[in-house]
Each structure stands twice: as C-alpha cells, then as structure tokens.
Chains A and B, each alone.
Chain A
Amino acid sequence: MTISRRSVLGAGLAGPLLASPFLTRPASAQRAAGIIRYGLSAFPPNLQPWVSTGASAGTVKMLINRSLVSYDGKGELRGELAESWSRDAEGAWVFKLRKGCVFHNGEPVTADDVKWSIEQIAGEKSTAYMRTQFQLIERVEIPDPQTVRLITKEPLVTLPSWFANYNTFIIWRKSTPNEPIGAGPFRLVGQERGTSLELAAFDKFYKPGIPKAKGIKFVVYADENLRNAALISGDVDMIEYVPWQSMATVQADPRLKLDTQEGPFMDVLFNGTKPPFNDPRVRRAVAHAVKRDDIVKVAFFGRGKPLEGLPIVEGTPWYDKDLAHGWNYDPARAKALLTEAGFANGFQTTILATAQFGMHKDTAEIVQQYLAAIGIQAELQLPDWSTRVSRGTRGQYDMAIHGVSSDNNDPDGLTVVLDTSLSPTHGRSFKVDAPRTIAALARGRAEFDQAKRIEIYKEMQRAALEEVPLVGLAWREQGYGMDKGVMGFVNQPGALSTSSGNMLEETYFG
C-alpha cells in the first residue's frame, strides 16, 4: 500500500461514493400502498388489553381491539361491539350487541365474551386499570346471546363511558393470557422489538369501508425532536405529541398540518397531613399567588391556556365562566389569606417535581418564584420521575407539581384527581380534606337527570374552590402533526386527546 496525496483524497471520497446509491430518496412505496407511517413516542411496554401501559400503547391497542363503545371525533360515545345501550326499569345497564362482529380468528363476538372480559377485569387477581370501577358491577347477566345486562352495586351514570377507555377491550374468551384475540379494525402482523409495529387492515371488520387505510406502520421515536424531524423530512406521515417548541414550524411548513387540543393540564398537589397545607386558606393562598400566563409562555411556548379553576373544558355544559376563574391571580388576596391562616411572614417549604420532564421543572420554577413574592420560600426538589412517583404515593412531600389528564370530559372523570379519599397515588393530593367536593362528585355520579347533574357539578366546583384539593395551573396543548395528504384524522377534544388513535381507522391518504 502506498500513501500519497491522491490516495488520501481517494479515501476521503470513498465513503460518499460508496453511499451514493442510497442517497436518493425513493418515493414512498408504503404510502402508495395505502400504509400510514405513524411516529409513535414510545414502544408499547406490552399490549395486554386491560393493563394500563400508557397512551402510545393505548393507540395501538385501540386499533387491534374493540370494546362495546368508543368516542367519535366530537368526543361523543358511539356504538362499537354494542349497537345500543340503555338503563332498564330496574336500573341495570343493558347493552345490545351488534350482529356480525367477529374476532381476528373468525369467531363471533358473543355476550359470553363480554361477560368473560368484564369478569377478568374485575377479578380478585386482576391488574387491570379499570379493576376498581368494574368491581362496582355486582353481576353480569346474559338474557340472550346478543344482550348483556350489568347490575351495579350503586347507580352509575357514566358506566357506558368505561367501555370507551383504552384498557377495557372485549377479548375472545378462549384466548390465552399471552395471546389475547381482539376484534379491532387492524391486525398486528409484525413487530421489530423496541422499534416498530406493523398493522394490516382486518377484512372482516364490522363497519363497512373501515378501516380506510390498508395498514399502519408505527415507528418509535422516543426523542421528541427526532420525531418531529422524521415528520419534516417525510420519514413518517404523522406523529403524536408534537413538541410545543416545534408546533410553529409544523404549522409554517406548507406540506404539513397541525391538529391540537387543550386536554392535559398542570396542577399543584398538597400534603394535607401536616401544617401548613392542612389549612385550606394556605392552599387557596397558593392558588391566588401564581400568574398562570408565565407558565403557558415559558413551559409551553405559549401553546396552552391559563387554568384558574378546576379543569372543566370550556364549551361543555359543566363549564361556568366565573367558577373557571375562581383562583384568579391576586397576590394581595393571597397574602391576606396567609395572614388569616397565621402565616403573615410566610414560611419555608418544599416543592416536589421532576427534572426528567422539562414542563414539570419549568412549571415548578415559576410557581416557586411567585410563591416567594408572597413570602413562601420553597425549595425545589427535582428527582427522576420514578422517585417523584414513589414519593408522591407515599406522601413524602409538602407541595408537588403534576401534569395529568382526566379520564374523560365528563366531570366524573375528575374523580381520579379530586377524590382525596381514594387510596394515595402520585397524581392526587395526599390526604387533603375535601369532604364537600367528594360528596358532590358522588352525587353527580348517581344522578341521571342532566339538568340536575349540571347544578351538582357547579356546586362541586364551588366546594373545590374553597377546599382546594388541587390548584389548577395551565392547560397544555396536545398536538398531532401530519402531512396535508393525511385525511380523516381528528384530534379528539379535551381529555380525550390521548384516545385519538382510535380515529386512525378512518384515516386515509387524500
């Protein structure tokens, strides 16, 4: 071998020359074949139909499985395996099954499968997300093969919506635990572990013309910036969780479009077992001390909205303009409340958040600054997310910052964040006393008259504004970015945004 100027230059050129056959971007064969390429934010930890393993897993699960009902693009319940549902004279919920529904193995969907699935979810050894709720079903009756009757231990107005959750699918009753067989519009036909999943349209799906796409290829991009780059470069046709800082870029790109909803929200949680936050006046002082606009601007690049009350979506019957601003920014009032509670000179405390998610850390820093302005000196504690969860559940904190979404857009969906009498979890205040709020939630759950429900939930909001089981801070936008040629996809409103994967059955290339 000889080394010369020519050989050095030759070596330098060799790489690009070798790679040149690959540098041209072939037209997307997958797109031509009607296969949607979707940038998923996380590889599903598993696809168990009833165990909660996150929204990304939920997106895939919704497409390969099906339940009795689902949400449409407007967030309204629509029939799936059930074509109708109602309460009978005895107060039981009756679901009439749709004819012609089959599982992926060709077996018909029967009332026995529905009963078996409900019993698995509610079982003593179950690890299902909806286990606690489903244990409120006293028994399941099958008057005929196409009808299922659910007798509940107490009146439950929102029971049908349980079946729209992406952890409550109807599975063929003879499935093995490791191979649950569902009845969704797509079949799982392949996966590259940790990298991608491939779905193909199920040709015996019960809705005519659905799914509209021939298949979906989910490609996992855990890094939000890379996911966005993949959309911009055309590697994928659509992505979930467009990062807030990139939303403007996606909107400005003539080839792309952005669909956002204000669904999830940020809030402050309290430890109610010790002073000073066992006093509702101190919690209210915190609620009035923080200027929410700054959180929206800094943590979410302006992609959100201040939340000065309970997280009730504007435009729903439960929304009340005055109550929605019950915790308006008013530092003078905050100081007065502190004085009234015996903390005229403020106090020292801690804020638990996590450094693992920028939005939690940024929100915590802004809250810290505004609390300092009314005399509350708060030390930030920013462990990793795992530690944050662990300490939250065990009540090892004074104040905590959290980001969450309610279960659905009905105020009963807020039970999970407001009912502090439930067992402690990291996303709920720890043993904060809020009896009137909790009682109103229970009344709303048992009331079937819509007008009365509206009044009950307004009363619940008034009680919560005083008892402060949490402090709302900001709504944050949840965005899907996609090629303009992608049609039929709708980001579902409010808290249902994370359930929008369901709409992929109606998505196609225009």
Chain B
Amino acid sequence: MSAGWLGRRLFLTLAMAWIVATIVFLALHMVPGDPAELLLSTSGAMPDPATVQELREKLGLDQPLMVQYGRFLAGLARGDLGTSLVDDYPVIQEIALRLPRTLELILAGTLIALVVGVPAGVYAAVHRGGAFDRVASWITALLLAVPVFVVGTLLVLLFAQTLRLMPAGGFTPFAQDPGQHLKLLALPAIAIAKGLAAVLFRMTRAATLDALAHDYVRTARAKGLSPRRTLVVHVLRNALNPVVTVLGLQMGTLLGGTVLVEYVFNWPGLSTPLLRAVEGRDYPMVVGIILTISVLFLLINLLVELLHAAIDPRVQHG
C-alpha cells in the first residue's frame, strides 16, 4: 500500500466531505422557511414581524448568504460546527452526546442480527429442505418485506401496551440505571436487527451451501473428520468471508436506517435532532449532523478500501 495512494484516498474523502457540506448548506438556504419565524411560531403562535427581524439579526441570518457560508467554512476549518439557532447549544456537543447512542443502537442491532442470523443460516444450510429451513426462509422473506416502523409499532403494541413487559420507549443513561438502559435498548435494537438478521441468514445459508459443495469438504468427510469439525474448520471458515463483507456494508446502511427506529422508540440518537432541525430550519445543526454521518460513511468506505487493498494488492492499482 503506497503512501501516495493512501494520500489520494484521504484527499478524496476530505473533498467529498466538503462537497456534502456545501450542498447541504446551500440547499437548506434555498428552500423556503425562516428559522427565526419558525422558532417564534411554535404551537401556532403568531409573532410580530419586528420581533422576528430582531431575532434574525441576533442569529446573523440577515447577513448575505456568501458571508454566512464563509463564516461556516472558517468555523469548519477550526473544527467548529457552530451553535444551534434554537438554543445556542454547540452543534459539536449535541453530536458528541447523541452519536454514541446511535452507534450503540446499531451495534446492539448488529449483535442481535449476528447471534440470530448466522447460526440460523448455518443450521438451515446443513438441514437444507428441512422444516426449519422452509419456515426460516419464509420468516426472513416476511422480515425483509415488512417496514421497520411497522415492526417497531407492533413490538410496542405487544410488549408495552398488551403484555406490559417492556417500556414503550425512551432513554435512561447507562450510568444512571443500567437495567433500565438495557430494557429501553432491547426493542429498538430488535427492530433494527430484523432486516439485517434476515440478510445475514440468507447470506450465511447460501455461502454455507456453496462451501458444503466443495471437494475439500468431501475430502474432510472421507478422511473421517467428525461432521461438527468439518463444519467449523472447513465450511464456516470459508463461508463467513462474504458474510463479513455484507455485514460491513449493511452497518453503513443502518446508520441511515436508524431514523425511523429512533423516532418510533423515542431513542434520542442523532436522528431526532436531525429531523427537528430540518423542520425548524436549524441550519448549523442540520449541516453538522449530515456532515458527521457523511464523514462516517466515507470513513467506513475508506476502511473497506484499505482492507481490500491489504487483502488484494491489485486494488491499489485498479
């Protein structure tokens, strides 16, 4: 892996981040909606235009767009994403507070998906055509077809409203009450895991079936290895490679997929302030959050490329 190649990739990642930031900044300012007026109009209030103008001046929204853009870029260069137009709270602090919660949700969902999807996929492949295989394939089709907000709402209806076993939604910091924290994490994590579990099940099943058909498996069996050892040492080791690749790609997608789950379960991750900020035209907050998500996405891509390059040196020259 040459330093030049790595440098080019890093430069491209930074350039992409700048392009994203600029597009979001300009697009937001072009759509109708005045943050000052919206804030003062909450709950149907009708503010006096002079009051709105006063707030616009306080927030610096009366400045020409290019001046605002220049100020934004200068802040960005210093690592400062500005402050919320609603309550003057630093955007970077809001992200620092909420991003870990979103990542925790994604991680918990991924763990559940792994624990359920991979063993089930292997079992279905080993017992191909059996009752479990047929039922599990049918269930995964259902899980992939039903939207996440429907699953989420059904989970709330069943576990919170009907059985009253789990809270309907919300958040308690881990440090404050670990038990309650995990309870509140469970349902959204299951909701977010359902699609990924289905994908992992199918990938694992297909890859295991593929591996099972190889000659080296027949050889392993022929030389007298136990079925369990054949499966673990020869089949799984080869079958899980494509599964890991898919998992990496899907985790990036989950970052965007949390929006609905966080909303349905009132999980205060990054999506809630993003939604509220778009509705309220809180420019710095929207740009800051989208930029963060984009950079994460870009970094994941960069990481995948680096991994590919490490595994297969031809990638660097491709």
Contacts and interface: CB of A to CB of B under 8 A. Distances in A.
B256 interface: no
Interface string B182-194: 1100100000000
Interface stretch (B40-48, B291-299, B302-310): B40-48
Greatest chain A CB density within 10 A among B89, B167, B168 is at: B168
Contact of B168 (A46, A125, A230, A405): A230
B171 to A, nearest CB: 5
B119 A230 contact: no
Nearest to A194: B268
Given A4-B228, A385-B279, A195 B171 contact: yes
A356 interface: yes
Given A194-B268, A233-B164, A427-B44, A15 B115 contact: yes
Given A1-B232, A22-B183, A387-B31, A192 B39 contact: no
Contacts of B47: 52, 129, 425
Given A53-B42, A194-B98, A393 B37 contact: yes
A389 B33 contact: yes
A192 B279 contact: no
Given A194-B273, A233-B164, A386 B186 contact: no
Interface string B141-179: 000000000000100110011001111111101000001
Contacts of B89: 193
Contact of B170 (A132, A195, A264, A498): A195
A192 B164 contact: no
Given A127-B51, A393-B37, A233 B273 contact: no
Contacts of A8: 119-120, 122-123
Contacts of A15: 112, 115-116
Given A46-B86, A234-B164, A192 B173 contact: yes
Interface stretch (B70-78, B247-255, B258-266): B258-266
Given A386-B32, A423-B48, A45 B39 contact: yes
Given A3-B236, A222-B263, A235-B168, A22 B182 contact: yes
Greatest chain A CB density within 10 A among B46, B119, B161, B281 is at: B46
Contacts of A11: 115-116, 119
B46 A425 contact: yes
Contacts of A2: 228-229, 231-232
Given A45-B86, A221-B169, A221-B170, A391 B32 contact: yes
B170 A3 contact: no
A57 interface: yes
B87 interface: yes
Interface residues of A, number: 75
Nearest to A233: B160
A423 B38 CA distance: 16
A405 B45 CA distance: 9
B120 A226 contact: no
Interface in A414-470: 416-417, 422-428
A417 B34 CA distance: 21
Contacts of A391: 32
Contacts of A416: 46
B27 interface: no
B109 interface: no
A5 B123 contact: yes
A333 B153 CA distance: 47
A222 B122 CA distance: 41
- A-B pairs, 7 with minimum CB distance: A386-B33, A54-B42, A229-B168, A54-B43, A390-B32, A425-B46, A233-B160
Given A193-B97, A498-B43, 9 more contacts: A3-B228, A53-B42, A129-B51, A193-B268, A221-B168, A386-B38, A391-B32, A422-B48, A426-B46
Interface of B: 31-34, 37-51, 54-55, 58, 86-87, 89, 94, 97-98, 112, 115-116, 119-120, 122-123, 126, 153, 156-157, 160-161, 164-171, 173, 179-180, 182-183, 186, 228-229, 231-232, 236, 263-266, 268, 272-273, 276, 279-281
29 contacts: A2-B229, A3-B119, A3-B122, A8-B119, A8-B120, A25-B164, A52-B40, A52-B43, A126-B51, A127-B40, A127-B51, A129-B45, A129-B47, A221-B266, A223-B264, A226-B156, A229-B168, A230-B160, A230-B168, A232-B168, A233-B161, A233-B168, A386-B31, A386-B32, A386-B38, A389-B38, A391-B32, A404-B44, A423-B48
